[in-house]
Structure 1
């Protein structure tokens, strides 16, 4: 199948499919006219790549893991990938901790701002007394 058909069957843009090919996640044969030609198994490979990307794996690790995938969500034992997966899990855990810290800071900022805005809104209300400085 040509790249347009692969794109339609997977929902992945042609540009992204070319990137997958450049990074050796998928492969294509070339016709005499230079067109890429993919076999039917490439559809499943692209789906696996998408699932692994959604799991937070970068393409360099996906390249290692891809030969070990059984389906879009299952890995079979494969030499040398456990350390890479653990390293990636550590990275994701750190990102989650960083996001949690950012979320807490944003919530605090919103709460403080709401308190300030609430006081400002009360002071601007018609008939409101503004305390005199002493």
Structure 2
């Protein structure tokens, strides 16, 4: 498939796909005229790249992890790196959960004040 089709199927901009290529996260084949061609596997790979970016991983980290994702081969050092990234994601989830809980408390407090006719002040 061409780059425009891959962008449409993944919801990722053509510009982002070119960036992934510059970072060597995505490697297209080239037609004789030089046009990029992507196989079906590129859709899943782009989706994974997006998920890893959303989890806060850098392009450099994603690049190091890709061989393990692609074929399951991992060195002890890579396994350690994966575990560190997982732990970082766990800490981020805990932080976000704490923030959500605080927001829930504020919402509950504001709703209780609303029921009693008190005004909630926003600063």
TM-score (norm 1): 0.65
| Deviation, structure 1 residue 8 | 4.7
Distance verdict in 2 for CA 1:37–1:49, change over 3 Å: closer
Unaligned residue ranges in structure 1 (runs of 5+) = 122-134
Counterpart of 1:113 (choices 110, 114, 117) is 110
RMSD (CA atoms): 2.9
Instruction: Say whether 1:82 aligns with 2:86.
Output: no
Alignment-derived partner of residue 101 in structure 1: 98
Which structure has more relative contact order (CA 8 Å, sep 6+)? It is 2
Q: TM-score, normalised by structure 2?
A: 0.70
Which structure shows the bigger proportion of residues in helix conformation? 2
Is the counterpart of residue 38 in structure 1 residue 37 in structure 2?
Answer: yes
Cα deviation digits, residues 65-124 of structure 1 (max 9, x gap)? 212224xxxx61312321221111111111111111111111111121112111117xxx
Q: How many residue pairs align between the two structures?
A: 114
